[in-house]
Structure 1
Amino acid sequence: MINFNGNIGQEENILTQNRAFLYGDGIFETVKIINGKILFLEDHYFRLMASMRVVRMQIPMNFTMEYFEEQILNLVNKLNIASSARARITVFRNDGGLYLPKSNDISFLINAIVLGNTSYSLNTKEYEVDLYKDFYVTKQLLSSLKTTNKMINITGSIYAHENDLANCILLNDSKNVVEALQGNLFMVVGKKLVTPPVSEGALNGIMRKQILALAKKIEGIEVSEEIISPFDLQKADELFLTNVITGIQPITKYRKKDFTTNLAHLLVQKLNESISEN
């Protein structure tokens, strides 16, 4: 069951002329719903609107934040999974044209699945990563958007699976660290928390924003957005990934280096506290 342009029904074959399918002409947001509430709703909505403007999609007049929220919650309520769910809204330009679209008008599709918890927790099981160097992220604005063209993430995930890795770290065309396959990357060195700037090609992540804000409130922690080289990772005390669904995922091993999880534990606690307060 899906929500297609506000109509909830069974999945249909909408791929024949779908531009997201044919050309990757689409963007998306993945949100987490807890107890009938979309977490970080405003951040997700405004990132979607900004992305639509960047790729020159026509934003319908009725596509307000309230409409965005209503359409997602309509589906999860219909599926009876509003207590804990993951939903994805994909926005794509309407059918027609080749590389040049016939119209900038859009359609949207929402699908959702149930999740198993109502708060964020820290998975401290072994989580080994390595660099993925077959392809590189370009330092440009499009790299910071969540588009339906995720071929680097797909091929990188296959590489990780083939090499018994939990994840891979992506590099940009300057050979600097950008992010992981499924989230933004943070590095702890002493009392300093560092993440690559969006200008390096990193996704402008919603959880990235939350973690930066929470860390700045912790006494004794310096927070910085800086270029990170692969060599810097081996000097780190702690590495972790962030995304809206998982929250924080500690990296336990990179190459021959093992890492602690102290700040990650504290940040998960602060994250859950901030959600319960709102």
Structure 2
Amino acid sequence: MVNFNGELLFEEKVKLSIENRGFKYGDSIFETIKVVNQKVVFWEDHYFRLMASMRMLRMKIPMKFTLEFLEQEILKTVAVQDQSSSFRVRLNVFRKDGGLYTPLTNEINYLIDVKANTYQIKKNYKIDVFKDFYNYSGLLSTIKTNNRMLNTLASIYAKENNLDNCILINENKGVVEVTNGNIFIVKNTVVKTPALTEGCIKGVVRNKVIEILQKNQDYTLEETSISPFEIQKADEVFITNAIIGIQPVSNYKKKVFTTKLSERISSNLKILEVTTA
């Protein structure tokens, strides 16, 4: 079952109009959230990112959209699913129907879709650069809108070339992120991740990893521009997102990476998931 504006419905009963603005214009944003043992992981971070995104896109935030209200709506939807200890939740917010490029209203609808989380960390994980199109830098690219055509094309490219993921680059040929998350590279004691100004999503787990690294005196963290050539010279590369946590990368072209730091951070992240859920 799914949650449409607070009402629990079987998927086949949900009626979205052909005037749906998420469908016609990509006028929609979403959060992908992990729920483990009836606890919403890093919920405050997701909530405040959602609120900031709605404000930036001039969506009208309903008075009832409090931290507590949306958390209960998520848990209400999780409670009617088949039994599982871990779930992948997609909270979609989209402007109400009507208008062309200019909407008739800034009021919104919301939809909560829940699936069992079956992702397993992969031991052999290969990536490469997707060069056909760019992820343009700028603040709008940091928001999780429904316009994911670049991610879709890069994912198809990855599948066609027996890769697990692709690196997206911006108009300056700088590394931005991968198709489904943020990216970190490690060289000696320096850890780099693309700055938000490069166009990467302001990832919740990205922020948690940054916090972990800033407390570790053995490593220096840099949010900066990264050339794809730096990846080939790196000792270690890993990917982050809300569902997988940390996925170490084993191969980039002919380069083979270690996984020492990513395994350490993954352990720290799991502790945070439990203590801050």
**In structure 2, what is the Cα distance between the partners aligned to 1:223 and 1:255?**
25
Residue by residue, what CA displacement relative to the aligned partner does 1:121-177 show, whole Å, maximum 9, x if unpaired?
A: 7x3521111100111011111100000000000011001111111100000011100
Pick from 67, 85, 96: which aligns with 2:69?
A: 67
Pick from 162, 170, 173: which aligns with 1:172?
A: 170
Quote the offset at 1:87 in angstroms.
0.6
Equivalent residue number for residue 153 of structure 1: 151
Equivalent residue number for residue 6 of structure 2: 6
**In structure 1, what is the Cα distance between the partners aligned to 2:153 and 2:162?**
14
Equivalent residue number for residue 204 of structure 2: 206
**In structure 1, what is the Cα distance between the partners aligned to 2:122 and 2:136?**
32
Residue by residue, what CA displacement relative to the aligned partner does 1:1-59 show, whole Å, maximum 9, x if unpaired?
A: 11000000122231411100111000000100011110111100000000001111000
**1:260 aligns to 2:258 (yes or no):** yes
Which residue identity is paired with 2:156?
I
Cα 1:41–1:81 shift into 2, 3 Å: farther
Equivalent residue number for residue 18 of structure 1: 20
**In structure 2, what is the Cα distance between the partners aligned to 1:161 and 1:229?**
24
**In structure 2, what is the Cα distance between the partners aligned to 1:15 and 1:161?**
32
Seq. identity, %: 47
8 Å CA contact 1:192–1:224 kept in 2: the answer is yes
**In structure 1, what is the Cα distance between the partners aligned to 2:93 and 2:275?**
31
**In structure 1, what is the Cα distance between the partners aligned to 2:123 and 2:229?**
24
Task: Name structure 1 gaps, 5 residues minimum.
Answer: none
Which residue identity is paired with 1:46?
F
TM-score scaled by structure 2?
A: 0.96
**In structure 2, what is the Cα distance between the partners aligned to 1:204 and 1:49?**
13
**Which 4+ runs in 1 deviate beyond 3 A?**
none
Task: Name structure 2 gaps, 5 residues minimum.
Answer: none
Equivalent residue number for residue 186 of structure 1: 184
8 Å CA contact 1:250–1:264 kept in 2: the answer is yes
CA RMSD of aligned residues (A): 1.3
**1:96 aligns to 2:94 (yes or no):** no
Quote the offset at 1:80 in angstroms.
4.6
TM-score scaled by structure 1?
A: 0.96
**In structure 1, what is the Cα distance between the partners aligned to 2:176 and 2:107?**
32
Equivalent residue number for residue 55 of structure 1: 57
Quote the offset at 1:218 in angstroms.
2.1
Residue by residue, what CA displacement relative to the aligned partner does 1:169-208 show, whole Å, maximum 9, x if unpaired?
A: 0000111000001110000010111100001101100010
Equivalent residue number for residue 114 of structure 2: 112
**1:46 aligns to 2:48 (yes or no):** yes
8 Å CA contact 2:155–2:179 kept in 1: the answer is yes
Quote the offset at 1:261 in angstroms.
0.3
8 Å CA contact 1:33–1:82 kept in 2: the answer is no
8 Å CA contact 2:4–2:112 kept in 1: the answer is yes
**In structure 2, what is the Cα distance between the partners aligned to 1:272 and 1:163?**
32
Pick from 239, 242, 252: which aligns with 1:241?
A: 239
Question: How many pairs align?
Answer: 274
Cα 1:218–1:259 shift into 2, 3 Å: same
8 Å CA contact 1:15–1:21 kept in 2: the answer is no
Equivalent residue number for residue 227 of structure 1: 225
Residue by residue, what CA displacement relative to the aligned partner does 1:198-238 show, whole Å, maximum 9, x if unpaired?
A: 01101100010011111222231111111100111111000
**In structure 2, what is the Cα distance between the partners aligned to 1:277 and 1:44?**
16
Equivalent residue number for residue 131 of structure 2: 133
Quote the offset at 1:275 in angstroms.
2.4
Which residue identity is paired with 2:8?
I
